[in-house]
Each structure stands twice: as structure tokens, then as C-alpha cells.
């Protein structure tokens, strides 16, 4: 167990290293001069040179990379070129709504897609199965912002059940928070529900063909016990995996959803940062999301050990 944990932890290090390299290269190798961006169009060549010097842009790329990584290791992610605030502080101010949105979407996904997938696999080939599959292929095919607008159009504009846009933190009370987070959460969850229900179905179909499921039935157990105790736990690993790799997709969805529902989260922050070419801010946000992705997938790897004793006793 300990060696499994350490092994996973060690593989995360090179992954994070490559993430840092990619992000660094992405911002350094793309055309467009950060010094120019800071100084503005009116800057003289001398001013530009001075800015380059102060940012260390004249150093060799490798030196710049290690200086950058070294600073981040000390918790210094730099300052925004535009607002001059430390970027971590800016991220801290905007991360709340994003986390709330992501957790809501995740909760809705688990509540909806697990039963859907299990049911579809159990009634394989039947009407329920086909309905679930149709639902999931539609979920894959309609962009999140379209789903967002349809939800707004139907439930906010026409039926007036929900406010059209906006966000209230949980501190303002549960009801105002939940009232505003539900539609964006559902829109964001749509593609995730499609993905997870499909994977749940596929994984369950495979497991339901296993000998031990037949053994469970031969013991005279009820279908509920067979499905949820015997099958679902064995089907869990591919489902967990797709939840983990789908996290990157979720972040992409967050950016769009926050735009549609006008939520002041990280997604909006990053789009604004990109449009303003605010390099330190872009770097920090991408690095942070990638780091979160790696940590989530590390946790999921560890959760394998909880579901499967063969990994636990490795």
C-alpha cells in the first residue's frame, strides 16, 4: 500500500515537470513580446530593453525556466502586468464561484449518471438502455453554451423559476446560492453526465458478464444486491478514471459556463487575462488548474486501492 502510494506520488513529479515546461514554452515561443505588452505601443526601444532586462527575458531560456520554477517553489507566482496585484491574490478572489460551480456539477453528475448507467446496463438492449444512450449522445453533441442558453430561455426567461444570470456566494445564505448555481451547474454537468453514464453502462456491461456475478445470482441474491454490491464496485475503476480525466473537460466547461451565466469565477478571469496578454496571470491559472488535475488524478489512483483489495495488498 505504502509503496503503491509512493509510486503514484513519484510519477506525478515528472508529469508536473512536463506541465511546467509546456506552459513555459507556450508563452515564450509564441510570437508576441511580453515587454511590448507591458510597455504599450508607445514604448521606445530603450524602454523595451529595460523592461526585458528587469524581467530577465534576455537570459537563456533554460535559466529563465529554472528562475521561474524556483520562484514558484517559494510561492511567488509573480504580479499581474495589468493590475499589479500578486496573481495568487487575484486567483484567490475568484476561485470561490468556480469551486462552487464545479462541485455542484460533480454532485449532479454522480446523482444522475450512476443510476442511469447501471439501469441501462441492467436492461441492456431495452427501451431504458436506448433512452440513456440517446440522452448521452445528445449530451456529447450539444455545446455547453447552447445548453446554457436553452436552460436560461426555458427556465429563467419563460418559466421564471430561476434568475437569468449572476452568482451569490454561499455566505449569503443557502437558498440564494442554490437558486443561482443550479442552472449553470446543470449546464456544466450535461457533458459530464453523458460521459459518466456512458462509461458506467459500458463498465457495468462488462462486469455483468463476469463469473462472480453469475455466482452471486446462483446464491439467490436479489438483483439490487447483485447490481450495486457485486457489480458496481468492480465497475468502479474505469468510472473513476473517466471522472478524473474528465476534470480537464470540466475546466473547459467552466470557462464557457461562467461566460454564459455571468459568474465572476476563474474562467472569466483567464479569458480576460488572455485578451489582455497578462502573462503571469495566464501562467499561474493554467499551472494551477493543471496542478489540480494532477492532484485529483492522484487521489483517484489512491481510491483504486480502496475499491480493489488487489491493489491495496500489492
Partner 1 sequence: MKPSQSAQKAPRSRLLTNPPHWTTVLALVVLVIIVAIAVFAPAVANFEPTQLNAMMRLKPADDTYWMGTDSYGRDLYSRVIYGAQVSLLVGAGVSIGALVIGLPLGLLAGWFRGLDAVLMRMMDGMMAIPGILLAIAIVALTDAGLTTVIIAIMLPEIPQVVRLVRSRVLSTRSETFVDAAVLLGTPPLRLIWRHLLPSTIAPLIVQGTYIYASAILTEAALSFLGVGIGTETPTWGNIMAEGRLYFALNPWLVYWPAIVLSLCILSINLLGDALRDRLDPKMKGRSI
Partner 2 sequence: MTSAPVLSVRDLKVVTTARNPAEILKGISFDIFPGETLCLVGESGSGKSVTSLVSMDLLPRGELAVAGGEVLLNDEDITKASPSRTRALRGSEMAMIFQEPMTALNPVLTIGLQMDEVFRAHRDMRKPERKAAALEAFESVSLPDPARIYDSFPHQLSGGQRQRVMIAMALALKPKLLIADEPTTALDVTTQKQILELIQRLKEEQNTAVLFITHDMGVVVDIADRVCVMRHGEIVETGKVQDVLSQPKEQYTRDLLAAVPSLTPRKARPQEGQEKVLELIGVNKIFSFQSFISKLLGHEEHSVHAVNDVSFRLDRGRTLGIVGESGSGKSSVARCILRLEDPTSGAVVVNGNDIVPLRGQKALAEARRAVQMIFQDPNRSLNPRLRVGESLIEGPLNSGEARAEAMARAGDILEIVRLPRESLDRYPHQFSGGQRQRIAIARALMMSPDVIVADEAVSALDVSVQAQVLELLAEVQKRQNLAVLFITHDLRVAAQICDDVMVMQRGKVVEFGPAEQVLAHPQHAYTRDLINAAPGRDWDFAKGRNIGALV
Site of interaction with partner 1 (CB under 8 A): 11, 14-19, 21-23, 26-27, 30-32, 133, 137-138, 140-146, 149-150, 152-153, 157, 195, 198-199, 201-202, 205, 242, 245, 248-249, 251-252, 255-256, 259-260, 270-271, 274-275, 277, 282, 285-286, 289-291, 293-294, 297
Smallest distance, partner 1 to C-beta of residue 294, A = 5
- The answer to whether 177 and 170 are in contact (CB under 8 A) is yes
Report d(CA 256, CA 253) in Å as an integer: 5
- Identify the three-state secondary structure at position 310: helix
The item of partner 2, partner 1, none sharing an interface with residue 199, based on CB under 5 to 8 Å by kind, is partner 1
C-beta of 44 vs 158, nearer to partner 1: 158
Report d(CA 109, CA 159) in Å as an integer: 24
C-beta of 25 vs 111, nearer to partner 1: 25
Smallest distance, partner 1 to C-beta of residue 149, A = 5
Smallest distance, partner 1 to C-beta of residue 32, A = 5
C-beta of 164 vs 221, nearer to partner 1: 164
Report d(CA 276, CA 81) in Å as an integer: 9
Q: How far apart are the first and last CA of the chain?
A: 6
The item of partner 2, partner 1, none sharing an interface with residue 308, based on CB under 5 to 8 Å by kind, is partner 2
Smallest distance, partner 1 to C-beta of residue 174, A = 29
Smallest distance, partner 2 to C-beta of residue 52, A = 42
> Which chain residues interact with partner 2 by CB under 8 A?
2-3, 6-7, 10, 124-125, 210-212, 214-222, 225, 229-230, 233-234, 307-310, 313
Report d(CA 286, CA 163) in Å as an integer: 31
Burial 87-119 (b: 16+ CB within 10 A, else e): beebbeebebbbebbbebbbebbbebbbebbbb
C-beta of 223 vs 272, nearer to partner 1: 272
- The answer to whether 238 and 256 are in contact (CB under 8 A) is no
Smallest distance, partner 1 to C-beta of residue 158, A = 10
Rg of the chain on CA atoms, in Å: 24
Nearest CA-CA partner of 234 in 250, 215, 212: 212
Amino acid at each position: 500500500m505504502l509503496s503503491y502510494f509512493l509510486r503514484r506520488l513519484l510519477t506525478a513529479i515528472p508529469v508536473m515537470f512536463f506541465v511546467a515546461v509546456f506552459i513555459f514554452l507556450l508563452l515564450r515561443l509564441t510570437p508576441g513580446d511580453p515587454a511590448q505588452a507591458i510597455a504599450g505601443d508607445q514604448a521606445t526601444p530603450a524602454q523595451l530593453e529595460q523592461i526585458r532586462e528587469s524581467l530577465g527575458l534576455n537570459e537563456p531560456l533554460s535559466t529563465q525556466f529554472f528562475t521561474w520554477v524556483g520562484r514558484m517553489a517559494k510561492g511567488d507566482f509573480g504580479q499581474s502586468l495589468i493590475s499589479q496585484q500578486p496573481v495568487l491574490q487575484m486567483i484567490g478572489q475568484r476561485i470561490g464561484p468556480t469551486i462552487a460551480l464545479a462541485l455542484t456539477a460533480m454532485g449532479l453528475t454522480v446523482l444522475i449518471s450512476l443510476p442511469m448507467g447501471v439501469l441501462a446496463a441492467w436492461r441492456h438492449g431495452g427501451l431504458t438502455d436506448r433512452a440513456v444512450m440517446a440522452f448521452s449522445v445528445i449530451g456529447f453533441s450539444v455545446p455547453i453554451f447552447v445548453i446554457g442558453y436553452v436552460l436560461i430561455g426555458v427556465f429563467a426567461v419563460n418559466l421564471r423559476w430561476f434568475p437569468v444570470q449572476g452568482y451569490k456566494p454561499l455566505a449569503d445564505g443557502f437558498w440564494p446560492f442554490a437558486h443561482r448555481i443550479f442552472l449553470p451547474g446543470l449546464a456544466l454537468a450535461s457533458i459530464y453526465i453523458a460521459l459518466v453514464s456512458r462509461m458506467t453502462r459500458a463498465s457495468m456491461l462488462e462486469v455483468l458478464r463476469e463469473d462472480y456475478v453469475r455466482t452471486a445470482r446462483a446464491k439467490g441474491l436479489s438483483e439490487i444486491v447483485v447490481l450495486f454490491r457485486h457489480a458496481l464496485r468492480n465497475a468502479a475503476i474505469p468510472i473513476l478514471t473517466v471522472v478524473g480525466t474528465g476534470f480537464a473537460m470540466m475546466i473547459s466547461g467552466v470557462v464557457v459556463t461562467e461566460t454564459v451565466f455571468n459568474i465572476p469565477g476563474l474562467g472569466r478571469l483567464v479569458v480576460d487575462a488572455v485578451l489582455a496578454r497578462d502573462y503571469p496571470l495566464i501562467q499561474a491559472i493554467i499551472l494551477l488548474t493543471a496542478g489540480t488535475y494532477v492532484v485529483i488524478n492522484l487521489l483517484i489512483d489512491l481510491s483504486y486501492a480502496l475499491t480493489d483489495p488487489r491493489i491495496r495488498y500489492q
